[in-house]
Each structure stands twice: as structure tokens, then as C-alpha cells.
């Protein structure tokens, strides 16, 4: 179940990545929903996903 939530979070973040404000909101929700070790995995995934997307790198402040 927990793994499903992490994968769901990744899917949602991919879908809303066109809008930095919406991406930030969904990222905040994800941080509240996920377990601590999943947040660590999400941090790694986000660094890879946002590489080359300067409009989204500002949003990483919510997970740091």
C-alpha cells in the first residue's frame, strides 16, 4: 500500500509538471502523505526529474 502511494505521487507530479504552482501544491501534499523513507526516495527522484527544468527546481525547497 505504501509503495502504491509513492508511485501515485510520482504519477501526479509528472502530470502537473507543466505548472510550477500546481507542482508545488502537490509536492507539499506528498510530503505530508508519505513515510520518511519514501520522502528520501522522492527527493532523489525529484532531483533527477527536475534536472533541466529550472521552473520546477524552485519547488525543491519544500522537500529539502
Please check whether residue 12 lies inside any domain of the structure: no
Question: Could you give the number of structural domains in the chain?
Answer: 1
Of residues 53, 20, 32, 18, the one with CA closest to residue 9: 32
Q: Does some domain include residue 22?
A: yes
Model pLDDT, residue 64:
77
41 closest CA partner among 14, 5, 16: 5
Note the Cα 18 to chain centre separation in Å: 13
- The whole-number mean pLDDT for each consecutive block of 10 residues of the chain, a chain of 64 residues, reads 86 96 95 93 94 90 82
Domain that holds residue 27: 18-62
Q: Report the pLDDT value the prediction gives residue 53, as an integer from 0 to 100.
A: 92
Which run of H or of E encompasses 26? Answer: helix 20-33
What pLDDT does 10 receive? Answer: 96
Which single residue is written with the C-alpha cell 529550472? 54
- Whether this prediction's pTM lies above 0.85 is answered by yes
Classify residue 23: in a domain, yes or no: yes
Q: What values do phi and psi take at 52, rounded to 5?
A: 85, 5
Amino acid at each position: 500500500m505504501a509503495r502504491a502511494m509513492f508511485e501515485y505521487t510520482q504519477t501526479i507530479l509528472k502530470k502537473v509538471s507543466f505548472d510550477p504552482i500546481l507542482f508545488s501544491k502537490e509536492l507539499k501534499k506528498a510530503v505530508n502523505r508519505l513515510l520518511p523513507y519514501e520522502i528520501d526516495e522522492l527527493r532523489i527522484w525529484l532531483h533527477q526529474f527536475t534536472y533541466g527544468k529550472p521552473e520546477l527546481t524552485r519547488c525543491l525547497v519544500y522537500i529539502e
